[in-house]
A and B are shown apart, each in its own frame.
Chain A
Amino acid sequence: MLRGMPLPRPDHDTQPFWDAAQEGRYVVPRCAACGVGHWPPGPMCPHCFGDEIAWGDAPTRGSVYSWVVATHPVAEVLVDQVPYAIALIDLEPGVRVVGNVVGCDPSAIQAGMAVEVFFEEREEGVRVPNFRIPSGNLEA
């Protein structure tokens, strides 16, 4: 788990995401009219411009779309934490989110690799969802 990273300052568009995360749920915004999700959370559907957002549970698994491995510590607090992977993860159509791929050597990451959601408790007591290699338990 990364230490010393900025924590979220939720706003009207993102509050439901962070509220659910504190309860251990990964929720995403979907359009009440067309049903398609989007990311990051916004006030309106970017596909049909409907302005009613219906939040719902995301799939617990996603796949890696792209990634970088942060090897150079860009902040003092990262000096003993590099390397770490930062990935773009496809959760469902329209929803591609950021996470680390935890529990795997960053050099082993591949495009399309499956990852699953889990929750980290940051030192400030804030729960932040993240991703790891599936344990094999489909309910994980």
Chain B
Amino acid sequence: MGAQLREKAAIVGIGETEYSKESGRTELALACEAIRKAADDAGISVGEIDGLVRYDMDPVDEVALTSSAGLRNLRWMSHTGYGGTGGNAVIVHAAAAIAAGLATTVVCYRSLNERSGARYGQGSTWMSEKVGGFEQMQMPWGLLTPAQAFGMFARRHMIEYGWTSEQFGAVAVALRTHGSMNPRAMMRKPITVADHQASRMIADPLHLLDCCIESDGGCAVIVTTAERARSLRKPPAWIMGAAQGSGTRARGIIFRDDLATTEAHFTAKDVYASAGVGPADIDAVMIYDHFTPFIPMALEAYGFCGRGEGGPFVEDGRIHFDGELPVNTHGGNHSEAYIHGLPHIIEATRQLRGESSAQVPGCEVVLSCSAVAQLSAAVILRKD
């Protein structure tokens, strides 16, 4: 892994719809609005976009966008797989296409009515009378939702490293503290560790406040060439490096040799090599926070603390916006909105523009990473 992507491209436009429990609109409408806002933010017209990356789970496809959003000049298109990994994987793809000269201006987007439509936390979203694939080895025993699968990792870290539910609570408090400062956030009422402990159990050891929220909304990000980035409306957020990783062996998330070693351990090596920096150079981190324990797991994987030390690391305000290593200064999937992790790269961009609602002073380099224990992806951005 070398420097092939280093500062060949930059994020120049970000766009978001309102985040809500019920958008009252189609996902296509959400995608169109987010893309138009991202183009406006960059100061370009939608017709100038010539590349597109979508999440493979997104209900809105390229064809719908060519006819509805005005994307009439696409010459390169791609999809990224496996759920929440997309939040950064889409940026990896966009940067690679730009570095290779396949496109000059790429839009990445995610739109979903996940609260008013099919809710990921509901068994009925995933269940059917008969199930095939790896699900036939899970669902007959009532393993139906992400909280139940990812709770297995939390339990294993409690067994191996003595992590506690109160440490997960410290993560929830940090996320809500940031959410309380963010006017876009769906959840803004501050909470305490005691509130976390009192919240009902969902999949023991995970309480309700260990689980991300469900939301309706859309987001879009525009990536362009280094040359073009310098002449647009907003200061570019430079893509220093980017990487994806599969890890060695995992199927259906939980079928793996070691629940304490995540795919992110592999991605971390590559993204740092790609960017030419290390953990000590990072000023803030955006982490795909589907469940609170995955923040300390990511902090270990990306080298901010040693193996097993993530639990104690997240205590004492260390990951708050004014702490030693600010994490998810927008409130993340837990407090701002769950748009499958795309808001994390948007917040990374805001931090580098100095536009965050929980601005980190002197923030120059941000790591954004997603889907710690699934197909994994990470991007490192630098201030202009």
Contacts and interface: CB of A to CB of B under 8 A. Distances in A.
B249 A46 contact: yes
B130 A8 contact: yes
A98 B155 contact: no
A6 B127 contact: yes
Given A6-B128, A74-B145, A84-B142, A69 B159 contact: no
Interface in A64-79: 65-72, 74-76, 78
Interface of A: 2, 5-11, 14, 39-42, 46, 65-72, 74-76, 78, 81, 83-84, 86, 88, 96-100, 106, 111, 122, 128, 130
Contacts of B200: 71-72
B101 interface: no
Nearest to B122: A74
Contact of B201 (A7, A72, A74): A72
A83 B202 CA distance: 10
23 contacts: A2-B142, A5-B142, A7-B140, A8-B130, A14-B136, A40-B251, A66-B152, A66-B156, A66-B159, A67-B152, A68-B203, A68-B206, A71-B202, A72-B200, A72-B202, A74-B145, A75-B127, A75-B144, A78-B123, A83-B204, A86-B143, A99-B141, A100-B142
Interface in B101-159: 121-124, 127-145, 147-148, 151-153, 155-156, 159
Given A98-B138, A98-B141, A68 B251 contact: no
B254 interface: yes
B82 interface: no
Closest A-B pairs by Cβ, 3 of them: A75-B123, A74-B123, A68-B151
B193 interface: no
B195 to A, nearest CB: 17
B205 interface: yes
B204 A130 contact: no
A98 to B, nearest CB: 5
Given A8-B130, A42-B251, A86-B141, 19 more contacts: A6-B135, A7-B131, A8-B140, A40-B251, A66-B153, A66-B156, A68-B148, A68-B206, A69-B203, A70-B142, A71-B202, A72-B203, A74-B122, A76-B124, A78-B123, A88-B152, A88-B254, A98-B137, A98-B138
A2 B152 CA distance: 20
Nearest to A46: B249
Contacts of B202: 71-72
B131 A8 contact: yes
A97 to B, nearest CB: 7
Contact of A71 (B136, B137, B140, B203): B203
A128 to B, nearest CB: 5
A40 to B, nearest CB: 4
B239 to A, nearest CB: 34
Contacts of B204: 68-69, 71, 83, 106
Contacts of A39: 137, 255
Nearest to B127: A6
A6 B131 contact: yes
A69 B136 contact: no
Contacts of A111: 159
B157 to A, nearest CB: 9
A131 to B, nearest CB: 9
B252 interface: yes
A31 B262 CA distance: 25
B201 A69 contact: yes
A102 to B, nearest CB: 10
A66 B156 CA distance: 6
B74 interface: no
A64 B235 CA distance: 53
Contacts of A5: 139-142
B136 A10 contact: yes
B226 interface: no
B57 interface: no
A96 B206 CA distance: 22
Given A98-B137, A100-B142, A6 B129 contact: yes
Interface in B242-283: 249, 251-252, 254-255, 259
A68 B127 CA distance: 19
A118 B348 CA distance: 51
